[in-house]
Amino acid sequence: MNLPPLPDQAVGMIWAQTRDGVIGRAGDMPWNAPEDMAHFKATTMGHPVVMGRRTWQSIPERFRPFAGRTNVVLTRDPEVTAEAEAAGALVFTDLDEALAAATDAPGGELVWIVGGGSLYAAAADRADVAVITVLDLEVTDGDTFAPALPPGFINVASVPAEGFTPSDRGPAYRFETWVAGDDL
Ligand SMILES: NC(=O)c1ccc[n+]([C@@H]2O[C@H](COP(=O)([O-])OP(=O)(O)OC[C@H]3O[C@@H](n4cnc5c(N)ncnc54)[C@H](OP(=O)(O)O)[C@@H]3O)[C@@H](O)[C@H]2O)c1
């Protein structure tokens, strides 16, 4: 996807949400949205991805770590640390250290925060760009929510500009790009 001009060293957040901001339920995403998965892969490929332990554990073992990207996991759990490191991820107990390691990894000029709710909330103030897939869905029993974007974030692209792109394989969707106002 085409991203707007970003600082030389940038942090992005990427997520999919329902119209009301649900991003997860019971440790998983309560939808199957193939276009969003392809969009996630294309956007993050070649760049480090930083995630919380619950998100790491939500990825089927055969898909983790995400290929072609340095995977950075935050956890204080020794067992998960051992398992994630054995799988090839870098593991940290501190967000600053995780972001520093991600920045030093291949493609680290743009680091993607890929969830979940706790990581988005913790990292939102550091983000330069947010790439959001809005799914035309209502999920009433979600338990994890998108963060509020910090004041000053500006919507610089919506595809389509209004409404949603229909899908015959999953929910209709819209790709949005938001940029921190002080980066413009
Ligand atoms: N819709 C989307 O695009 C999307 C994307 C990603 C995830 N999700 C969903 O989001 C949900 C998971 O989100 P979540 O908020 O429950 O969990 P999470 O953010 O994935 O993971 C939380 C865990 O990460 C570790 N952690 C987080 N911040 C840390 C810090 N500053 N220092 C050290 N460790 C830290 C802790 O692990 P320990 O407890 O092991 O110490 C914490 O319990 C799932 O339902 C998932 O499917 C949705």
Q: What is the pLDDT of residue 2?
A: 80
Number of other residues whose CB lies within 10 A of the CB of residue 18: 21
- The per-residue pLDDT for range 80-136, each reduced to its tens digit, is 999 999 999 999 999 999 999 999 999 999 999 999 999 999 999 999 999 999 999
Radius of gyration over every alpha carbon of the chain, rounded to an integer in angstroms: 16
Name the residue of 31, 73, 119, 120 to mutate for ligand 1: max ligand atoms within 8 A of Cβ: 119
| Number of residues that this document lists for the chain | 184
Q: What is the pLDDT of residue 20?
A: 96
- The per-residue pLDDT for range 134-184, each reduced to its tens digit, is 999 999 999 999 999 999 999 999 999 999 999 999 999 999 999 998 766
Closest CA to 1 of 30, 38, 31, 33: 38
Q: What is the pLDDT of residue 139?
A: 97
Class for the domain spanning 10-183: alpha beta
Closest CA to 46 of 110, 136, 113, 3: 110
Residues with beta carbon inside 6 Å of ligand 1? 15-16, 23-24, 27-29, 51-55, 58, 74-77, 80, 93-95, 114-119, 122, 144
Side-chain half-sphere exposure of 1, counting CA atoms within 13 A: 22
Give the distance (Å) from ligand 1 centre to CA of residue 168: 30
Name the residue of 13, 22, 23 to mutate for ligand 1: max ligand atoms within 8 A of Cβ: 23
Mean pLDDT, all residues of the chain: 96
| Domain boundaries of the chain, sorted by first residue | 10-183
Number of other residues whose CB lies within 10 A of the CB of residue 35: 18
- The per-residue pLDDT for range 50-80, each reduced to its tens digit, is 999 999 999 999 999 999 999 999 999 999 9
